[in-house]
Amino acid sequence: MAYEQEKQVAMQATLAAAKLCQRVRQDIPPAMEKSDKSPVTVADYGAQSLVCKALGEAFPNDPIVGEEDATALRSPEYEASRQKVVSYVREIEANASETEILNWIDRGNGQVAPRFWTLDPIDGTKGFLRQDQYAIALALIEDGEVKVGVMVCPALSLTSDDPGTLFVAVRGEGSQMMAITEGELKPIRVCGVEDVSKLRVVESVEASHGNPEQQQKLLDAVGITTPSLHMDSQAKYGVVAAGDAALYLRLPSADRPDYRENIWDHAAGAIVVEEAGGRVSDMYGQPLDFSRDVKLRETRGVIVSNGIIHDRVLEALKR
């Protein structure tokens, strides 16, 4: 099977990171603030450290484009947070030194290349802090195409009562899902459409990450009457891929017209939905361009669907 080693390493690495995140969340961490004012926690750093360590050992030549870097954490001001990161990582990597842990985080400073990984160690940090949904999202991109994607959603239960769901996809080989406690991968498929009005839709919890008014107008135009489910992180891609929702809408925020989506916020989710039979595009129907930059500069809005409903949504958007 193609990319078998990449798939296995990515799954093991994100599961270890998820274990660290669950452990940190028991302690309800205070958030630090990044220079762009977005929140970050010791779990974001710890998760990035573990995933980059595993990738660095298995694929030493692959750059990693990760969301975090250790610059702030290395400063005297963040001594207490640094010690916490080190202590949580050592629960999993007992012999790791502080220098190694910080260097693993900084392996995520790579650039877009012909072959690279992109990592969001905690996608949905606000959800993580609220005790809601979040995901560890990792994708391998070659020549601009996502080849492997893994998302671990530690708080999501779809097939089991126990929380924790992993999604994985390899290009050309379909998408699979497993309840973390069960550990058995099963193929997943997007849902069909019987009655458009009853389709389930997922949107962000954070209103400022999309455009709730325009999204509601669009749903009215398409004729969907079921109230949307609000969920943080790329878990939204997961529920579309698993057939639990038909549509995920993310229109550009009216307050932040200059905002551009990050590559790590979409790469893993996109392949999981596409390989489950769904479709992912921007609001003009263009595919997301993962070949150029950390920011999806040409992408405006993201529409994720079961495929069947996609053109109808794009048509309504045009109107």
Q: How far is the CB of 264 from ligand A3P (least distance, A)?
A: 7
The site partner of 208 among Mg ion, ligand A3P, none (C-beta below 5 to 8 Å per kind) is: ligand A3P
In whole angstroms, what is the distance from residue 48 CA to residue 62 CA? 15
Q: Which residue is nearest to Mg ion (CB)?
A: 123
Does residue 208 belong to the site contacting ligand A3P (CB under 6 A)?
Answer: yes
Q: Does 6 bind ligand A3P (CB under 6 A)?
A: no
Tell which one of 253, 281, 299, 305 touches ligand A3P (CB under 6 A): 253
131 binds, among ligand A3P, Mg ion, none (CB under 5 to 8 A by kind): none
Write down the least CB distance from residue 233 to Mg ion, Å.
Answer: 7
Judged by CB under 6 A, the residue of 204, 281, 299, 306 near ligand A3P is: 204
- For the bound state, the minimum distance from the C-beta of residue 29 to Mg ion, rounded and expressed in Å, comes to 17
Binding to ligand A3P by residue 265, rule CB under 6 A?
A: yes
d(CA 304, CA 282) in angstroms, rounded, equals: 9
Binding of residue 44 to Mg ion (CB under 5 A) = no
User: What does 256 interact with, of ligand A3P, Mg ion, none (CB < 5 to 8 A by kind)?
Assistant: ligand A3P
- Residues contacting ligand A3P: total by CB under 6 A: 18
Nearest to 219 by CA among 239, 243, 245: 245
Is residue 123 within the footprint of Mg ion (CB under 5 A)?
Answer: yes
**Contacts (CB under 6 A) with ligand A3P, residues 215-234:** 232-233
Q: Do the beta carbons of residue 31 and residue 41 sit within 8 Å?
A: yes
Pick the closer one to ligand A3P by CB: 107 or 250: 250
Buried b or exposed e, range 214-224, using 16+ CB within 10 angstroms: bbeebbeebeb
Is the CB of 142 or the CB of 232 nearer to ligand A3P? 232
44 is catalytic: yes
Pattern 74-113, Mg ion, x by CB under 5 A: ----------------------------------------
DSSP string, 228-283: PEE--STHHHHHHHTTS-SEEEEPPPSS-TT---BGGGTHHHHHHHHHTT-EEE-T
Which one of 8, 79, 186, 259 is in contact with ligand A3P (CB under 6 A)? 259
End-to-end CA separation in angstroms for the chain:
44
- 266 is a contact residue toward ligand A3P (CB under 6 A): no
> Is 219 or 237 the residue whose CB approaches Mg ion more closely?
237
Site for ligand A3P in 112-141 (CB under 6 A): 120, 123-125, 127
User: 3-state class of 57 per DSSP?
Assistant: helix
Active site residue 225: no
Q: Which of 126, 119, 128 is nearest to 151 (CA)?
A: 119
The 47-76 site mask, x for binding ligand A3P (CB under 6 A), equals --------------------x---------
* Structure token pair of residue 193: 């459409």
If you write DSSP's letter for every residue of 164-228 in order, what string do you get? -EEEEEETTS-EEEEETTT---EEE-----S-GGG--EEE-SSGGGS-HHHHHHHHHHHT--SPP
265 binds Mg ion (CB under 5 A): yes
Instruction: Write the secondary structure of 73-131 as one string of H (helix), E (strand) and C (coil).
Output: HHCHHHHHHHHHHHHHHHHHCCCCCHHHHHHHHHCCECCCCCEEEEEEEEECHHHHHCC
Phi-psi group of 163: left, alpha or beta (phi > 0 → left; psi -120 to 50 → alpha; rest → beta)? beta
**What is the rounded CA–CA span in Å between residue 227 and residue 188?**
24
Residues taking part in catalysis: 44, 125
Residues that bind ligand A3P (CB under 6 A): 38, 67, 120, 123-125, 127, 204, 206, 208-209, 232-233, 253, 256, 259, 262, 265
